[in-house]
């Protein structure tokens, strides 16, 4: 009985925590400044392969920077990359802008994305250096907010990734994984000074900050360079800020099989990069706690009222919070009835926990062997 009661109390507290997260989310993510960005910054966009969002993402750079303040560096390994013609056409279509396509050469033993970032960095002319993934869409408010933060003396900025509207089972998995799992605690953790949501979808550092944490080369053999950069900046005492506008992302390949493999890859990366988070995330989930209490009560013949109420509160809160959050942050609208999928997310997501117990992953055509601290070695 004590175990059942404890699980129910933990679930109630976790549910209250979800509402606290929503409150912080609504307070923080109110959009960036309305005026265009007028601070000269360098934007490095590492690219490998032709992402579904790449063309739209490149065009969004132009739309979000009407004053033409950005130096844009599109970094690819070779001209054989299928994204190279698109990058070159984008540069040629905007001769009035400071856009360069940087061929970085084969990555060799380096992690692919980190290699492109490292090789492009020496060409950056600005003191303020932004990095954004190939599958992101920038906005005027996002750039303006980054400029505001840098002017205020912030050393490093991060945008919370929010997945674009997607259809089908795989698309929903991505939306739930991004928007209703990873993003949920981001604002509250930032409010508490415990930000851990360092996402490479959009991040920026001053040149001095990068030098203080040892430069990018130090992170050439870690699988989650964004997390490792952020944690190193935190340990160095740098001033970090979660921006007030999310960055829109759209993953490439949203079939059920592709989405499953992609999310499993993330689970494995979390295991090796941040094992504490991998271990504790399922244990502190209010839905799972209430479900466990209900199962124990049923198995022992005890009353189902308390655990049933805890489970109903947790499930109802998960759906309600998801609807409210999407209405506030997303540029799209989804019928409320469609959110039933979230009811299965926490329980169904448990399958990724044991399956992530592995050391090898495939990412953008390369295989990596992972080790403690998120280190990675390229496999033949």
In angstroms, the first-to-last Cα distance of the chain is 54
Report the DSSP beta bridge partners of residue 242. Answer: 158
Q: Which of these ranges, 89-98, 164-173, 228-237, 260-269, has the smallest mean pLDDT?
A: 164-173
β-pairing, 247-249 with 161-163? parallel
- Where on the phi/psi map is residue 168: left (φ > 0), alpha (ψ -120 to 50), or beta? left
Residue 100 phi/psi, 5-degree rounding, is: -130, 140
Q: Which of these ranges, 35-44, 116-125, 344-353, 371-380, has the smallest mean pLDDT?
A: 344-353
| pLDDT for residue 349 is more than 90 | no
The residue-averaged pLDDT of 207-215 equals: 98
| pLDDT for residue 154 is more than 90 | yes
Predicted pLDDT of residue 360: 98
The per-residue pLDDT of the chain, averaged, comes to 95
Better-scored residue on pLDDT, 73 or 301: 73
pLDDT in tens, 131-140: 999 999 999 9
pLDDT-based confidence at residue 51 (cuts at 50, 70, 90): very high
pLDDT in tens, 271-291: 999 999 899 888 889 999 999
What pTM was computed for the model?
0.94
Predicted pLDDT of residue 210: 98
| pLDDT for residue 362 is more than 90 | yes
pLDDT-based confidence at residue 357 (cuts at 50, 70, 90): very high
Q: Mind giving me the DSSP string for 90-137?
A: HHHH-TTSEEEEEE----TTS-HHHHHHHHHGGG--SSEEEEE-TTEE
Q: Please say whether the beta carbons of 111 and 216 come within 8 A.
A: no
| 152/171 Cα distance (integer angstroms) | 38
* Domains of the chain as residue ranges with CATH: 2-25+265-374 (no CATH), 32-168+185-261 (3.90.550.10)
Instruction: Classify residue 151 as exposed, middle or buried by CB count within 10 Å of its CB (0-12, 13-18, 19+).
Output: exposed
β-pairing, 41-46 with 128-132? parallel
Whose tokens are 């941040």? That residue is 274
Predicted pLDDT of residue 345: 86
Predicted pLDDT of residue 203: 98
| 338/79 Cα distance (integer angstroms) | 43
Predicted pLDDT of residue 102: 98
| pLDDT for residue 101 is more than 90 | yes
The residue-averaged pLDDT of 63-67 equals: 97
| 348/264 Cα distance (integer angstroms) | 13
| pLDDT for residue 321 is more than 90 | yes
Report the DSSP beta bridge partners of residue 98. Answer: 71
Measure Cα distances from 18 to 3, 11, 278, 305, 328 in Å.
Answer: 22, 10, 19, 22, 16
pLDDT in tens, 225-264: 999 999 999 999 999 999 999 999 999 999 999 999 999 9
Predicted pLDDT of residue 185: 94
| 84/88 Cα distance (integer angstroms) | 6
Q: What count of Cα atoms within 13 Å lies in the side-chain half-sphere of residue 232?
A: 20
| pLDDT for residue 309 is more than 90 | yes
Predicted pLDDT of residue 347: 87
Residues 6+ apart with CB under 8 A from 36: 65, 66, 67, 140, 143, 144
Name the helix (H) or strand (E) containing 377: strand 376-379
| pLDDT for residue 198 is more than 90 | no
The residue-averaged pLDDT of 364-380 equals: 96
Q: Please say whether the beta carbons of 341 and 319 come within 8 A.
A: no
pLDDT-based confidence at residue 344 (cuts at 50, 70, 90): confident
Q: How far is CA 48 from the centre of its chain?
A: 18
Predicted pLDDT of residue 280: 86
Predicted pLDDT of residue 197: 79
Q: Please say whether the beta carbons of 20 and 188 come within 8 A.
A: yes
């Amino acid at each position: 009985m004590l175990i059942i009661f404890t699980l129910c109390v933990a679930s109630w507290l976790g549910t209250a925590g979800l509402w606290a997260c929503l409150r912080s989310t609504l307070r923080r993510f109110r959009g960036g400044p309305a005026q265009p960005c007028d601070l000269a910054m360098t934007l490095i966009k590492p690219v490998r392969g032709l992402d579904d969002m790449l063309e739209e993402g490149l065009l969004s750079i132009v739309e979000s920077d009407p004053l033409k303040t950005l130096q844009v560096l599109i970094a690819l390994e070779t001209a054989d990359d299928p994204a190279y013609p698109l990058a070159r056409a984008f540069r040629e279509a905007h001769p009035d802008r400071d856009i360069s396509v940087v061929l970085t050469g084969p990555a060799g033993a380096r992690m692919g994305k980190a290699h492109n970032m490292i090789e492009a960095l020496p060409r950056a002319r600005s003191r303020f250096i932004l990095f954004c993934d190939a599958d992101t869409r920038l906005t005027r408010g996002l750039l303006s907010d980054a400029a505001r933060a840098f002017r205020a003396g912030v050393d490093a900025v991060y945008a919370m990734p929010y997945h674009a509207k997607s259809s089908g089972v795989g698309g929903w998995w991505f939306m739930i994984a991004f928007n209703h799992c990873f993003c949920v605690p981001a604002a509250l953790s930032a409010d508490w000074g415990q930000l851990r949501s360092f996402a490479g979808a959009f991040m920026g550092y001053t040149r001095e900050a990068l030098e203080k944490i040892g430069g990018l080369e130090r992170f050439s053999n870690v699988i989650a360079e964004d997390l490792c950069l952020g944690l190193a900046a935190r340990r160095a005492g740098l001033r970090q800020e979660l921006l007030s506008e999310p960055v829109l992302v759209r993953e490439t390949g949203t079939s059920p099989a592709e989405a499953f493999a992609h999310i499993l890859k993330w689970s494995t990366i979390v295991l090796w990069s941040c094992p504490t988070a991998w271990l504790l995330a399922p244990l502190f989930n209010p839905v799972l706690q209430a479900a466990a209490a209900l199962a124990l009560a049923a198995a022992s013949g005890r009353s189902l009222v308390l655990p049933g109420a805890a489970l109903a509160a947790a499930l109802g809160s998960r759906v309600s919070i998801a609807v409210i959050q999407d209405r506030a942050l997303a540029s799209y609208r989804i019928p409320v009835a469609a959110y039933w999928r979230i009811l299965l997310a926490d329980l169904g997501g448990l399958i990724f926990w044991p399956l992530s117990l592995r050391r090898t992953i495939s990412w953008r055509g390369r295989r990596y062997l992972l080790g403690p601290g998120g280190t990675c070695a390229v496999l033949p």
